[in-house]
Homo-oligomer: A and B are copies of this chain.
Amino acid sequence: MNNDLILLGHGSGGKLSHQLLDDLIIAKLSRTPVRGQNDAALVELAGAKLAFTTDSYVVDPIFFPGGNIGDLAVNGTVNDLAMMGACPRFLSVGLILEEGFSKAELAAILDSMAAAAESAGVSIVTGDTKVVPKGKGDRIFINTSGIGVIEHTLTIDGASAQPGDQVLVNGSIGDHGIAVLSAREGLEIDSGIVTDSAALNGLVQELLALGESLHVLRDPTRGGVATTLKEIAAQSEVNIVLDEESLPINLGVKGVCSILGLDPLYVANEGKLLAIVAPERAGEALEIMRRHPLGKDAAVIGEVTGTADGRVQMRTSVGGLRGVEMLAGEQLPRIC
C-alpha cells in the first residue's frame, strides 16, 4: 500500500476517509480546527440561519433497483440538510458527463432528479455541465449542493449524545448498498432488495416536535450504521451499545451479506436516519417514526451508555459484547 497515493478506500466513508479528511483536506482548507463533522455546515447570512452542504455522486451502476444516480443525488443532499434539522430549499446540480454518454439515459436521470426534488419540496435553481473525453470519466458524475433554512433553536449535532439516550433507526438497514451491489456488472444477484433512497426531511420535521430531547440526527450512508455511530460516539465522547436482535434487516440483505461476507452494519443506506433521543421521549420518537410512511419498521437499536472514549459495542444475540469498529478500508466502492 503506497502511502503517497489516493486509494479507493479514501472514498469509503470509513477510517481511511477520515484520515485523509483530518490530515490533509481539513488541515489545508479549514481556518479553524474542527472536532468531528456534521452532514452540513451551519452559517449565518444577513440574519438568516442556514445549512449548506455538498455531495458528489459517482455510484456504479448508475441505474439500480429502485432508483438511479439522479434521485440519489437529490435525496442525499436533501438528507444532509435535514440532518441539521434544516428545511431544505434550494439545490444546485453540477454534471460531469463522459463523451459518448447517452442522451436518453441523461434524460431519464434528469427526470428522476426533477421528480425527487418535487417530492422533497426543493427547487433546483442553478447548475453547470462539463464534458470530459471518453475514458476520462465514467458516464455521469453528479454534484448536488444544497441550502436549507434552520427555523428551530435546538442544538442537533453529532456532539450532543448524552448517557442514557436511546438510539433509533427509522427502518431496515443495508438496503441501498445491497441494491446497488446486486446490480453491479459481474454480480447480478437477484436479492429482491431495492434502494431505500428517499428524502427524510418530512420525517425530520415531525421529529422536531421532540424539542430539546432530540440530540443527534445522522444519516448512515457510506460506511453504514457502524461507521456513523463511531463518529457520533467520538464526537460526543460517549460509548454506545447496540442490540443485535433489534436491528431491522431485510432477509434479502442478510442473504447477500452472508454469501459475500459483508456485515449489514457497514452497508450504505440512503433513506435511513439515526436519531439519538433523551430516554424519557424515546417512546414518543418511535411512535412518530412508525406513523410516518418512511418509518414503519422503526426500532430502538441501542443506548448511549456513559461518557467515555467513543467505543461502540454490540450486544450479540447470545448475550456477549463485541466491539464495533469504523469501516477500515473500502467495503463497497462507489455505492453513492
Which residues of A does B touch, CB under 8 Å? Answer: 3-11, 17, 20-21, 24-25, 28-31, 40-41, 43, 45-50, 52-58, 60, 89-90, 92-104, 106-107, 110-111, 113-114, 117-118, 123-133, 135-138, 141, 143, 145, 147, 149, 151, 333-334
Q: Is the CB of A58 within 8 A of B135?
A: no
Copies in the complex: 2
CA A3 to CA B100, docked complex, whole Å = 10
| Residues in B whose Cβ lies below 8 Å from that of A151 | 46
Q: Is the CB of A131 within 8 A of B7?
A: yes
| Residues in B whose Cβ lies below 8 Å from that of A107 | 24, 28
When the two chains form the complex, which single residue of B25, B48, B126, B130 contacts A46, counting CB atoms closer than 8 Å? Answer: B48
Instruction: Indicate whether A45 sits within 8 Å of B43 (C-beta atoms), given known contacts A10-B97, A92-B54.
Output: no
CA A128 to CA B141, docked complex, whole Å = 13
Q: Is the CB of B6 within 8 A of A97?
A: yes
Q: Is the CB of A89 within 8 A of B45?
A: yes
CA A106 to CA B7, docked complex, whole Å = 13
CA A116 to CA B133, docked complex, whole Å = 28
| Residues in B whose Cβ lies below 8 Å from that of A25 | 95, 110, 127, 129
When the two chains form the complex, which single residue of B24, B46, B99 contacts A103, counting CB atoms closer than 8 Å? Answer: B24
Q: Is the CB of B131 within 8 A of A11?
A: yes
A38 nearest CB neighbor, chain B only: B126
A265, chain B: closest CB distance, angstroms: 22
| Residues in B whose Cβ lies below 8 Å from that of A8 | 99, 131, 133
Other A-B contacts than A30-B124, A147-B147, 8 sampled, CB-CB below 8 A, are A5-B100, A8-B133, A25-B129, A28-B113, A29-B124, A46-B151, A54-B92, A141-B141
Instruction: Indicate whether A131 sits within 8 Å of B96 (C-beta atoms), given known contacts A45-B50, A126-B54.
Output: no
A147, chain B: closest CB distance, angstroms: 6
3 tightest A-B CB contacts, nearest first? A11-B131, A145-B145, A46-B48
